[in-house]
Structure 1
């Protein structure tokens, strides 16, 4: 009799534990589905703000939900996330850019998407200087399932995890650590409390004003990876390809000139331009990049600036802003930069802009 009582108690205990586990799992799953931190469905239904905790997976999740809805892909880094896909209408562009995006990742993602039937008519590529750095270049971060060309992790497997719940909790708190987020339409937005761009402070934070210019020369740029951009274009041979260099502040360009890395930077860009029929460089100093009120760090520019970029690279043979690199030789390219820097120095001195 005692054995039967103990056995019954044990069974009740086991059932209660299973029910508690099941209820907890359902609550975790429900919370993650409603907040959707990895963008399997409609994103955060509570506040409408979505954060890129794992942009590489989240953006693939969203794209592969309805791949036939898009006929244009945008590749780039966090700078290019602020380029609105809607600015390329009538193309239906999906912005697949993510923080720290490297050319090796763009190639891997393109080959992966091709395996799943994605066939864009237009490819837009943001070309960042860090793709060509000789030293201290971050390694590519490519998910295993992309390398193996396997389906992305299923929703149930992902959203029944504490890691996803942690992302959901951070989403509700707005705990992103970045001055930007994605809205309900998954367009990148700069936060209202984003920092004000102060050139001297920003350059100090990035280490660009170091006295050790020789060390910076060793951290210069090489054109070796230009060939990889050509490889990216061949993944979708039927697509039109456009590339551009996202704007960086004139103060950043001046720092490269002072540190002796500007020419190697331009060599790498000039070599890359040969892979694209359209290649516009918006990092050349201009009235846009002399300002401090259209960017929060001199590297990430407001969506309104990026809409102008989209208009230029889609429509202008003679851009009203930026430089069409395919129309100048290497020497002229360097001279145009130095002339633009000299003009910036003159205007900066006249306006007494804080540096």
Structure 2
């Protein structure tokens, strides 16, 4: 009979290695479940702060847990993430906005959710100017499972990875890389470490900290993608649809006027408005957008400002702030902006001298 005693140390080593692998995998899984960086469960149980490292997947993870809990979807960029979903009560809204969100992505997400049986009663769309840039738009980022209409990656598959552990570690270290995060209720908030907006020193809004900043500012806009917003509005044909232009600082609007791109910006927005029964533009210079204490960069405004936006778009007939674009022809639209800019320059002349 063959003696197998010589192989005992090898078997023991293999068993120990297997046990070590199982134990380390369990520790990685446990850490990721507790911190939950991709929002499969209740989010970060350690500090209560949740960061949008991959908002596109993380928000779908959370929505798809109980899609029947919601009868309203909000689409938009990082500006729209700060729009409180609860402000649309009695609708039960889910804010599916994400950083850099573009209209093609909103369409892909909507079609994916429709195939899964999601049929909202209300959709709210934040319309950002960068969707209409004449050229040089950022590439879209649509998850493969959304593109190919596949089930979202499972929690075990995702949370057994070292990549997810790295996100958990960054979460614990409070390493968000941006001054906003999501709280325990997954509402977007602005952190206490957010910078103060200093418009005359630097227009630090989203998309402007780039090597091609100056070129982008002067490229102008085209109305072509207005029809894509029209396509988005028809994905859920039975839903009430509302669109709005998130506020940007009056200094940003002034820069567009100085660069000669303001009229093309307004032309694109006006073309988009016809696809929505409600289309309110909050980027026109106003007493809200020439303040510097309600935004950290002139592009992302405090949740309190966004809650006010929600109230207006739900009852838009005579907005006390913003323009109801469907009530204006293009000439009137441009004239309103020019008048608002003139008022801004007049009221803020002394403020700019003092900064």
Q: Same fold (TM over 0.5)?
A: yes
Q: Which residue of 2 aligns with 1:113?
A: 113
Cα distance per residue 1:82-113 (max 9 Å; x no partner): 00000000000000000000000000000000
The yes-or-no answer on 1:136 pairing with 2:136 is: yes
Aligned residues: 352
Q: Which residue of 1 aligns with 2:310?
A: 310
Q: Which residue of 2 aligns with 1:169?
A: 169
Q: Are the aligned partners of 1:198 and 1:354 in contact in 2 as well (CA < 8 Å)?
A: no
- For residue 24 of structure 1, report the CA deviation from its aligned partner: 0.1
Q: Are the aligned partners of 1:135 and 1:218 in contact in 2 as well (CA < 8 Å)?
A: no
Cα distance per residue 1:206-225 (max 9 Å; x no partner): 379x997xx56751100000
RMSD of equivalent CA atoms: 1.8
Q: Are the aligned partners of 2:217 and 2:256 in contact in 1 as well (CA < 8 Å)?
A: no
- For residue 2 of structure 1, report the CA deviation from its aligned partner: 11
Q: Which residue of 2 aligns with 1:277?
A: 277
Cα distance per residue 1:214-247 (max 9 Å; x no partner): x567511000000000000110000000000000
TM-score by length of 2: 0.96
Give 1:42-121 correspondences, 5 Å limit. 42-121=42-121
Q: Are the aligned partners of 1:37 and 1:44 in contact in 2 as well (CA < 8 Å)?
A: yes
Q: Are the aligned partners of 2:218 and 2:260 in contact in 1 as well (CA < 8 Å)?
A: no
Q: Are the aligned partners of 2:218 and 2:259 in contact in 1 as well (CA < 8 Å)?
A: no
TM-score by length of 1: 0.96
- For residue 136 of structure 1, report the CA deviation from its aligned partner: 1.4
Distance in 2 between residues matched to 1:109 and 1:92, nearest whole Å: 18
Distance in 2 between residues matched to 1:133 and 1:58, nearest whole Å: 28
Distance in 2 between residues matched to 1:291 and 1:306, nearest whole Å: 15
Q: Which residue of 2 aligns with 1:287?
A: 287
Structure-2 change in CA distance of 1:62 and 1:318 (3 Å): same
Unaligned segments of structure 1, at least 5 residues: none
Q: Which residue of 2 aligns with 1:181?
A: 181
Q: Which residue of 2 aligns with 1:158?
A: 158
Q: Are the aligned partners of 1:73 and 1:123 in contact in 2 as well (CA < 8 Å)?
A: yes
Unaligned segments of structure 2, at least 5 residues: none
Q: Which residue of 2 aligns with 1:16?
A: 16
